[in-house]
Amino acid sequence: MDERKGIITSAAEGTRGILEPFWVTLRQLFHKPITEEYPEFKRALPERARGRIVLTRSPDGEERCVACQLCSAVCPVSCISMQSAVREDGRRYAGWFRINFGRCIFCGLCEEACPTLAIQLTNDFEMSADDPMQLVHEKDTLTVDHGGRHPDYDFYRHAGVAVRREPGSHEDEDAPVNPKSNFP
């Protein structure tokens, strides 16, 4: 009891403090619930929501992944594993690629680490399964036939084995400077 307030005021305040919550809860009873009922109503997710992981393809339809192991190395729960392989023309690709979604925490670090923008997170989060083994996805279920969030990007137009051209003939590249001449 507060000394400054006197007994009647504090008693009245105490009674009000006990009775007011009942009025509040009673009032809520006749409100319409604000619940969004999920399977019937699906909220539009933000563009960069982190859900199921996919392996995307470059505009020419080739796989983007070069099996550099960066995503696997950065993954905090070690749910990504792969084996690299090299094609006849010298281009690297993943022999097999496995993501255990039972472990994945959808942190998105793999997406950040990927130098070729191959591994990307999508908006899809509805991937529950009856059996934990169904959550282990292989390359064939991971690979999609589009470019994901960056449909126009093609790593091999900038780097890699496919780019064995003369200096200066690359995309967005100026002609090489002749260091032996001082003409502009």
Partner 1 sequence: MTMWFAGFAVLLVKMALVLGVALTGAAYLVLVERKLLGRMQLRYGPNRVGPFGLLQPLADGVKMILKEDLVPQGADRFLFMMVPAVLPLTTLLAFAVVPFGTELTIMGQQVPMVITDLDVGVLFVLSLSSVGVYSLALGGWASNSKYSLLGAVRGVGQMISYELPLGLSLVPVIMLAGSMSLVDIVNAQADMPFIVYQPVAYVLFVLSALVEVKRTPFDLAEAENELQAGFHMEYSGMRFALFFLGEYLNMIFLGAFAALLFLGGWHGPVLPPFAWLLIKTAIMPILLIWIRASLPRLRPDQMMRLCWVWLAPLALLNILATGAVMLLKG
Q: Which residues bind partner 1 (CB under 8 A)?
A: 18, 21-22, 24-26, 28-29, 31, 33-35, 37
12 vs 86, beta carbon nearer partner 1: 12
Minimum gap (Å) between residue 31 Cβ and partner 1: 6
CB of 98 to partner 1, least distance (A): 31
Nearer to partner 1, 128 or 181 (CB): 128
Smallest gap, in angstroms, from Cβ of residue 16 to partner 1? 13
Instruction: Considering the complex, state which of residue 20 and residue 173 has its C-beta at the smaller distance from partner 1.
Output: 20
Report in angstroms how near the CB of residue 124 gets to partner 1 at its nearest: 23
Nearer to partner 1, 30 or 183 (CB): 30
DSSP-derived letter for residue 134 is: G
Amino acid making up residue 61? G
Question: Nearest to residue 65, comparing CAs of 114, 123, 137, 121?
Answer: 114
Helix (H) or strand (E) holding 53: strand 53-55
Closest CB 41 distance from partner 1, rounded Å: 12
Q: Give how far the C-alpha of residue 169 lies from the chain's centroid of Cα atoms, to the nearest Å.
A: 35
**Nearer Cβ to partner 1 (29/44):** 29
Q: Which helix (H) or strand (E) holds 11?
A: helix 7-29
Indicate the burial class of 142 (C-beta count within 10 angstroms; 0-12, 13-18, 19 or more). Answer: buried
CA distance 119 to 124: 15
